[in-house]
Structure 1
């Protein structure tokens, strides 16, 4: 096994590993293989969801899992394994919408801990477009993500250039 994982253990993703609709692999925990069933191993196309948190804004955050991974998920998460007519990327994209966020906010409110129960997820009313429409939605989402990434990189480059120009044109104090 790679990544420093000792034989007999599986990497464990938790809610903190879901950020900005994608998985990050920082601060991954480990659990004994004997405590993880085959159904709890994350597969390509699964969607990992934060199901419990003291912060309502974290409940319902989700990320599409690609490709098959040697990971499982923690107790405060749930896993959706799509079957049927809806594409996993479409479902994950829907989970980025304001409509989804508003629904989750209404369902998950608790006195101290906000929870999504299985019936909340099972009862979600996700629009069912045609295969072609789902494909168009996924293509648009991918292009949007690429554009956002390119803009973020351009901002970083501009920030670095701005700092460089300022540093080159500053006159040290007392040398005027």
Structure 2
């Protein structure tokens, strides 16, 4: 790679392959290729089997086609909207604004299907080069500028007007396309490694708690203290401004350990709410709205309502308890005690009666050690995946104008 530090020409990227020197020129997507709107179909066209697959927004995941939520239709499909290799599928309309513009390229295995009316396919000879352009800030800023006033959508004519700087040299386009193809391929492989590790850990956890017949005790006997948190009135800035007490929300429960958080409250906010200080190495469990998120806090925290703090008894290995609370067995038991209402909630008073298979301390430690080693491996793979993603983001910011 060569950094373009001294080149006085404006229309060149900051970073490019050293053998190329010519300026880049602005083109609209409509000048390079065509945008095709997807299939309109009725509920009566939908079939369980033997129909043609209709890709929708939910079938684009992490920049690839996902087959976990498929719709099939029995209908005559025009050849124009049959997916071809290297088509780029774009989410054009969705109830969620943040999903507008997400995209994925059609690979050979994804061909000979179709796509719904809330989707578009972009088709050109240069789609392998266009694909990384559709992950740049320039692309998403144009998506945001063209969103409908009342409906979250971009039209085909909007999309065709999107403008990007492009090198005239087709060899340079191909080389850039290949670089990002290889990077995307490695990210895809890394995602599969993570998925397989997550499946392995989940499988071992469920095997342990179904195969081994441990002595059962009610959940209330696994902790020394527990309780739901509370949220200080957001209308009073004195409860939040310059706060120093970590305040845990659902977004903080993404990993096994809570080692950092975004929000804080003041001592006054703590006093004026039902929030309480949950000691280090406790279980933090979401029991309202989004039920079932589990983490272990590595420092004292308090939580908002809908999130329990659970301090295990001295004879309970917190790591073991964490894995039990991620098991299918525990999730099913929780579902049986959920109270339906404005917000689905599993109240602690009901969770307390759930019978938990708890072995002796030595067995707890062995199980926790095995699963923690796998979790550490998983965390390392996730960290590497984030580095790959950061590398891609950097290259996108430097190799395009």
Q: Which residue of structure 2 aligns with residue 70 of structure 1?
A: 112
TM-score after normalising by structure 2: 0.36
Q: Are residue 91 (structure 1) and residue 130 (structure 2) matched? A: yes
Task: Verify the 8 A CA contact 1:53 1:114 in the aligned structure 2.
Answer: yes
Q: Mark the CA change 1:41 to 1:154 in structure 2 (over 3 Å): closer, same or farther.
A: closer
Quick one: distance in 1 between partners of 2:118 and 2:138?
23
Q: Describe the superposition over 1:2-49 as per-residue Cα deviations: whole angstroms up to 9, x where unpaired.
A: xx842xx31111111112211111211111232x21111111121111
Q: Secondary structure of the equivalent of 1:127?
A: strand
Number of residue pairs aligned between Structure 1 and Structure 2: 160
Q: Are residue 108 (structure 1) and residue 147 (structure 2) matched? A: yes
The structural deviation recorded for 1:147 is 3.9
Q: Which residue of structure 1 aligns with residue 121 of structure 2?
A: 79
Question: Tell me, which stretches of 5 or more residues in structure 2 are unaligned?
Answer: 1-47, 205-318, 321-358, 366-401
Q: Are residue 23 (structure 1) and residue 211 (structure 2) matched? A: no
Task: Verify the 8 A CA contact 1:14 1:74 in the aligned structure 2.
Answer: yes
TM-score after normalising by structure 1: 0.76
Q: Mark the CA change 1:172 to 1:88 in structure 2 (over 3 Å): closer, same or farther.
A: same
Task: Verify the 8 A CA contact 1:56 1:109 in the aligned structure 2.
Answer: no
Alignment counterpart, residue 361 of structure 2, candidates 141, 155, 173: 173
Quick one: distance in 1 between partners of 2:171 and 2:134?
19
The structural deviation recorded for 1:126 is 2.4
Quick one: distance in 1 between partners of 2:71 and 2:179?
34
Q: Which residue of structure 2 aligns with residue 54 of structure 1?
A: 95
Task: Verify the 8 A CA contact 1:49 1:60 in the aligned structure 2.
Answer: yes
Alignment counterpart, residue 12 of structure 1, candidates 54, 68, 77: 54
The structural deviation recorded for 1:82 is 1.2
Q: Secondary structure of the equivalent of 1:116?
A: coil
The structural deviation recorded for 1:102 is 1.4
Q: Secondary structure of the equivalent of 1:93?
A: helix
Alignment counterpart, residue 173 of structure 2, candidates 134, 142, 151: 134
Question: Tell me, which stretches of 5 or more residues in structure 1 are unaligned?
Answer: none
Quick one: distance in 2 between partners of 1:109 and 1:172?
61
Q: Secondary structure of the equivalent of 2:166?
A: coil
Q: Return the structure number with greater relative CO, CA threshold 8 A, min gap 6.
A: 1
Q: Mark the CA change 1:27 to 1:136 in structure 2 (over 3 Å): closer, same or farther.
A: same
